[in-house]
Amino acid sequence: MAASGRGAAEGVMVRHLVAFGLAFVCISAQAGIVREAAGRVIVSGQIAPEDASRLLDLLARNPGIDTVLFHECRGGTLGAANAFATIIRDRKLKTLAAGQCTSACALAFLAGVPRRFEAVPGFSMIGLHAPRLPDSSGPSSDAVSQKMLQWVERATGGKLSKEVMDLIASSWAPASGVMFMSYNVGSVRMSRTVYCDGTQDGTLEKCRTLRGADALSQGIVTE
């Protein structure tokens, strides 16, 4: 890419990151929404374990569904992540991510094979962090954290680099974590991965870029 083209692309990316970062710090308290549309299940909001029963119900009533789309799905509990992941894994469902797919939603997303970013215009992100206490006052126990990290390592086929895994493991503070991003610059789909330590005021452009750690190479997506 020529210097002028590269500069324009970076300008577009920064505008996306600034706007998107504001949404990241103001995570919605919206309850989980699990619905069927266009022959697939769409999961949004913050998921709870009981939301998994809705997924089972939709699959039972729509046996042709083979895909779960996590769209603006912004977390939940580890119990919810496990419940959704178990269903997705056992049913051999595909998963897609669009908009924000973070925290518990990202863990559930990793159970899908194949899995990828939804091919839509705009900006999408898969964000992972270490488990934290319900009031965000500190990290969860070492046992809980290790169990989650082992699940991530298995789900990604051991492709996560030690640097990325260590950063995820240390990211328990609010608005911290490793963010795998996919976005459009003109007609070209771009990717970028950043680490936020929670001091960036929710603005992703201030987070540190992790070079060579795109979502595909790290096993976060499979295609």
What is the pTM assigned to this prediction? 0.87
Is residue 178 a contact partner of residue 165, using CB atoms and an 8 Å limit?
no
Strands, DSSP E only, in 26-137?
Answer: 33-37, 40-47, 67-76, 94-102, 115-117, 123-128
Q: What are phi and psi of 144, to 5 degrees?
A: -65, -45
In 165-198, which positions are buried (b, 16+ CB within 10 angstroms) versus exposed (e)?
bebbbbbbbebbbbbbbbbbbeeeebbbbbbbeb
Domain 3-209, second-level architecture: Alpha-Beta Complex (3.90)
Per-residue pLDDT of the chain (223 residues; tens, 9 = 90+): 444 444 444 444 444 443 333 333 334 446 789 999 999 999 999 999 999 999 999 999 999 999 999 999 999 999 999 999 999 999 999 999 999 999 999 999 999 999 999 988 788 999 999 988 877 778 888 999 999 999 999 999 999 999 999 999 999 988 899 999 998 888 888 999 999 999 988 788 899 999 999 999 999 999 9
Helices (H), 48-195: 51-61, 78-90, 104-109, 142-155, 162-169
Alpha-carbon dihedral 150, 100, 17, 216, rounded to 10 degrees: 50
* pLDDT value of residue 13: 47
Residue 37 pairs in a beta bridge with 40
* pLDDT value of residue 18: 38
CA–CA separation, 156 and 123 (whole Å): 22
* pLDDT value of residue 30: 67
Q: Where are the domains of the chain?
A: 3-209
